[in-house]
Amino acid sequence: MTPRNVNSRVPYLSLALGSQRVIDVLLDFLEEKTERREVELAIGEIMPGLKAFLSPGTNIPGSRVFATYQQARTVGETWSSSELKGVVETLERLLDETASRSEQRSNAEKLIDRFIDLSSQALSNFTEPDDAVPERVRELCHQT
Amino acid sequence: MSSNVSGALLDAAAVCRLTQSISEFCAQQLLHHQYVGASPVFFEHTRAVADGVLQFLHKLELSENRSARRIKAERLKLGTIKAYWSSIHELLKPAADAHTLSVPIPLVEALTDLCADIPSIKHAQITVLLSEQLNYFQSQHTGLKEVYSKLRTVLPGLPSFPVGLGFIGVPFSQASSLFTNLVIFHELGHFIFEETEKIRDLETIVSDTVNTIRTATLTTADLLWVQQTVLRWAEEIFCDLFAIRLVGPAYTFAYLELLNVIGGTNTKIASGFHSTHPADACRLREHLAKLRSDGWSNILDLDIEHCDLLKTLAGINDSEYRLVLADASLSGSALIQAFIRILPEVRKLSEECFSHNNQAPARLRDRIEHVYSCLEQGIIPSAAFDEQQPSFLPDMVALTNAAFAFYLEAMSRLIKNIDGETETDVFAIAKWSRQVEMWTLKSIENLRLRQSGIANGRSV
């Protein structure tokens, strides 16, 4: 591995850590070790980036978590479109203050499992990055 | 004990051993070597991070009374710490190897001085890495900084990242060289590119330009790939223009020297854009235009093969540029055309980021013959000026350019003056060109001492 490769792998690690922050906050929420405000903050950081994926091809509005190709690719590999939509809806439901505590716990558990999958995939891509040009981009490259 | 818990404990123990080993490695380097630049800052910071990780491990509770989800999450965190160390691992050994016996100290000191003069990077702390690759690189400190800031959110208590810490790699085989090492001024450009806020404007322009060529089938990830690629090409051009503004044609000569070593001077190879770099021909066209606009035309007219090569490669038409993929080579790609459209913005940005009044071309015109006459007699140029005409002392940039031009154009003038040597002997040229580099490095050191003496009100 060359240091140049380190540069291109760093976004995967960044995504793994960003996901782990969400996981930590949600676990603390389940174990009643954190304020609701912390959960809102953590979700607020990732929500714009996740929502951008629901409209393919849109620019990502200043998201710090999903701002690179490597990160976007990892999200696409981990969750199908419907799963991504489900994650966004569950996050929104978790923020709903009218939901019962048991419903919130159930949502938090589902989300922890989803973000564990995302963080694992990010770490896997960090270890074995695929530097190939994406297929649809190859089609664009052929355009003159 | 469940296998899940015992596995997690083993993972934690492995992270503990790795962390202790990295901390000990840093301590050993600080004890046994001296470094120029910010390497000690990097080693001290890494030790402090290691202490923070060890404290986290002390507090880590992996037992049966924790939920399976919590254990899984903690194992993932341990995996992330290992991944972080693997990134740092790649930098530590090259940094450890770049001690004072193995790098051109005056050049690194001159680089540090130049940083101090540029507002956007005046706090820069450069760590030199001795690389096994026959290429120069800058390791993106912003990526590492971002990762580190996220690591601090999952491992509270870690120290903050040292302000302005950055990394520049030099091939180990070129470590004692002056001329090819001038390429590190390009790497300094990457540092500025990452630090300056104006880059956000360029990102917007790249994004808008890419939008004009996007197709309906592209996903968000695809679009980001295209934007990152075009922005990366733009960054390379920005860094070239920055290096030329800083050190003039000496940078272009160093670039061509390196291109020659890696076999890239063939016009077909030089026309190829890769995902990591724009075509050398395109870059050299920008070099040539910048050198002319900065007033270096006189040196471009010297009888130097590098000047001819520069003009030949720079003269390759846009239509001959190709996009080189793993299994295809495409002419006239929409990506290249989009990139060419944003080049004026890259030029404008480089001017805005670094607009100091460059006196070096005029100084070189006046002093090049004097530097030549010193070198052909084996005299360290700064010494001759110091004794005879102190007011005529060239600055570091003029001196380096004159010496590089001498190396490319006039080595025979020196070798003729040496008993027993012949100007067609390859080994003599190699030996005495090394000597010319040493004399130039010594001159740069003298100039720096003289300038710091003047700044402190002492005569040197």
- The CA radius of gyration of chain A, in Å to the nearest whole number, is 16
Residues A115 and B309: beta-carbon distance below 8 Å:
no
Supply the pLDDT for residue B99. 82
What is the rounded average pLDDT for all residues in chain A? 85
Chains A & B: contacts with CB separation below 8 Å: 167
Alpha carbon of A20: minimum distance to chain B alpha carbons (Å): 7
- Cβ contact B137–A119 (<8 Å): no
Residues B27 and B68: beta-carbon distance below 8 Å:
no
Cα distance between residue B225 and residue B206, in whole Å: 12
Residues B84 and A13: beta-carbon distance below 8 Å:
yes
The CA-based dihedral angle spanning residues B36, B40, B46, B52, taken in that order and rounded to the nearest 10 degrees: -160
Segment 418-447 of chain B within 8 Å of chain A by CB: none
Positive or negative CA dihedral for B179, B185, B186, B188?
positive
> How crowded is residue B262: how many other Cβ atoms within 10 Å of its Cβ?
10
Supply the pLDDT for residue B460. 40
- Cβ contact A3–B94 (<8 Å): yes
A14 residue type, one letter: S
Alpha carbon of B249: minimum distance to chain A alpha carbons (Å): 26
B355 residue type, one letter: S
Name which of B80, B87, B330 is nearest A20 (Cβ-Cβ). Answer: B80
Supply the pLDDT for residue A89. 94
Segment 79-108 of chain A within 8 Å of chain B by CB: none
- Cβ contact A17–B154 (<8 Å): yes
Instruction: Show residues of chain B in contact with A30, CB under 8 Å.
Output: 67, 69
Instruction: Show residues of chain A in contact with B334, CB under 8 Å.
Output: 140-141, 143-144
- Cβ contact A141–B325 (<8 Å): yes
Instruction: Show residues of chain B in contact with A31, CB under 8 Å.
Output: 67, 70
* Residue B273 bridge partners (DSSP): B323
Segment 250-289 of chain B within 8 Å of chain A by CB: 275-276
> A62 touching B, CB under 8 A?
no
Query: Which residue's structure tokens are 């001290």?
Result: B44
Chunked mean pLDDT (size 10), chain B, 460 residues: 85 96 96 87 96 95 88 95 93 87 72 74 82 65 80 90 84 78 85 79 87 80 89 93 91 91 85 92 96 89 90 93 82 86 93 74 78 90 64 75 93 92 91 92 83 58
Supply the pLDDT for residue A63. 47
Name which of A14, A116, A127 is nearest B76 (Cβ-Cβ). Answer: A116
Q: Of all helices (H) and strands (E), which one includes residue B324?
A: strand B322-325
Supply the pLDDT for residue B260. 87
Q: Residue B158 has which token pair?
A: 């870690």
Name which of B147, B213, B217 is nearest A14 (Cβ-Cβ). Answer: B147
- Tens-digit pLDDT profile for residues A20-46: 999 999 999 998 888 888 899 989 888
Query: Which residue's structure tokens are 């940083």?
Result: B115
Instruction: Show residues of chain A in contact with B275, CB under 8 Å.
Output: 131, 133
Query: Which residue's structure tokens are 């920005």?
Result: B238
More confident residue, A128 or B55: B55
More confident residue, A98 or B84: B84
Determine if residue B295 is left, alpha or beta; phi over 0 gives left, psi from -120 to 50 gives alpha, anything else beta: left
Cα distance between residue B248 and residue B294, in whole Å: 8
